[in-house]
Structure 1
Amino acid sequence: MANWNENRTRQGFGTAPGQMGDVTSRTTMDAGLRGHMLSIYNYMASGVLLTGIVALLTWQSGLAAEIMTGPMRWIVALSPLAIVFAMSFGRDRFSTGTLQLMFWAFAVLMGLSLSSVFAIYTGASIATTFFATASGFAALSLWGYTTKKDISGWGSFLIVGVIGLLVAMIANMFIQSSGLAMAIPFIGVLIFAGLTAYDTQRLKHEYLMVRQAGMTNPAVAAAYPVGKMVILGALTLYLDFVNMFTFLLQFMGSRE
C-alpha cells in the first residue's frame, strides 16, 4: 500500500530542489551587494581623507591665502564642478581608469578649495564638526541601506531643494539678509541628510537591477561595469558628505 504521508513529509522537509538555485542565487546576490557597497564606501572615505590631508597641508604651507586672494581661486572653485559634470555625463565615454583619476583629481581640488575653512574656523571646531558629520552620515546611510520603505519619491523633492538652495545662496550675496544667512545652513544640512539616505538606497537598487538584468542580458552588464558604478557611487556619497559638513560647520564652527 502506498504511503501518501511519507511523500508529503519528504516534500515539506528542507529545501525543494527547485528552490535551491533561487537560494544560492539570492545568497550570491546579497554577498555581491555587500561587496559593492563596501567598495563605494572605501572609495568615498579615501576621497574624503585625501581632501582633508590636502586642505590641511595647503593651509599649513601658506598656499591657502594665495588661493583665496589670487586669480587661482576661480580655477580651484570651478574645476571640481567641471569634473563632476564630466564624470556624470561622460561615464560612457571614459574608461574606468580615467574615471578613477578624475575622482582623485576632484578630491585634491576640493582639498585646495576647503583649505580656506582653517582661516575661518578653529581646528577644534572643524574636528568636532567632522566627527558629527561622519556619525550622522553613517547613521543616515545605514538607514537608507536597511529600510524597507521606498524613498525613491524623495529624489525629485530633494533635487528641487538643492536648486532652491543654490538660488538662495546666490541671491543672498546681493541682498545680504541675516535671516536668510541663518536659514541656509540649516536647510542645507536637512537636504543633504535626506540625499545621503536617498542616494544610498538608490545605489543599492541600481546594483540589484543591473545584476538581475545582466543575468539574462549580458549587454546590460557590459553597459554598466561594476567599476564605474563604484566610482560614480563614491562621488555621489562624497558630495553628500562634504556638503553636509560645510553647512553644518557654518553653525557649529567656532570662528577664529
Structure 2
Amino acid sequence: MELKVQVLGSSHIYAMLKGRIETRNTFEFEYLGNYNSGSRIIVPEHGAWDDYALLPDLRAWLQALEAERLLVTISGSDWLNYCLSKREEEFDFVLPSHPDLPEIEDARLIPYAEIRSELRLHIRHVVLGLRVISETASMPIVYIEPPPPIEDDAHVMEHAPPGLKQLCLAHGVTKAPLRHKMFLLHSEIIREECERSGVEFFPVPPDNITEAGYMRAEHIKDDSMHANNAYGAALLRALDDKFS
C-alpha cells in the first residue's frame, strides 16, 4: 500500500530532497525555515520549560495536514554549534552509555550531568517542538536522527560556519571524539523526548555511518555539518523500505 509521507524539517531535509530517488511511497517536503529562519518554532524562544507554544502558522499547517505519516527533524546540528570550537580551554566528558569512547588527553573533564543539562537547554526548541508537534498532528510521527559527525578535523576546520570561524581560528576545532559524544548525547536527549511523546525515533541507517560512528567520506557535503545527496538518497531508500 502506497503511503503519503510528509517530511517536515530544517536544512538536513535537503539531502533527501536533492538526492531524491524513485520510491514506492510518496514523499513530500516542508521546510521549517519557512516559519522561522533559524527553525526555532517554539515561542518564546528562550522561555521556561513550562512556558511554550508552537508558532501559530505552523500549528495551522499541521492541523490541516493530510498524510499517513509525518517525518520530523528539527535543527539537527545544534550539538556541533555548541562544541565546534575548543574555546579557551579544551574540554571533554564521559558519556555513560558509551563509557569506552576515548577521552581527549589533557582536556578538562566536565561532569556529565552539567553537559547534559546545558545541551538539553540549548536544544529546548527541539525537545518542546517535538512535544507540541506530537500534540498537534493527527498521524503517526517518526523523528529522523540527524547525520552523524564528520571525523576529519581538517575538513571541519576548513568549513566552519562564519559565525564560529573566528573562534575556531583562535582556539582550533574540537577533536572528533568529543564531537561524536556530543552527537550521541544530542540523540539520546531527543530519543528520550520521543519516548515521552509517543514518537518513533529513526536512527541513522547502518549504510550511512562508519563502524566508528562517523559520516562516511562519500556522504560529506562541502561544509562542517551537512550530508550530501548520496546520503539523502540512502536515507530516503531506508525510509521507503520502512513504510513498504
TM surpasses 0.5: no
Structure of greater Rg: 1
TM-score band w.r.t. shorter chain: under 0.3
What's the TM-score once normalised by structure 2's chain length? 0.28
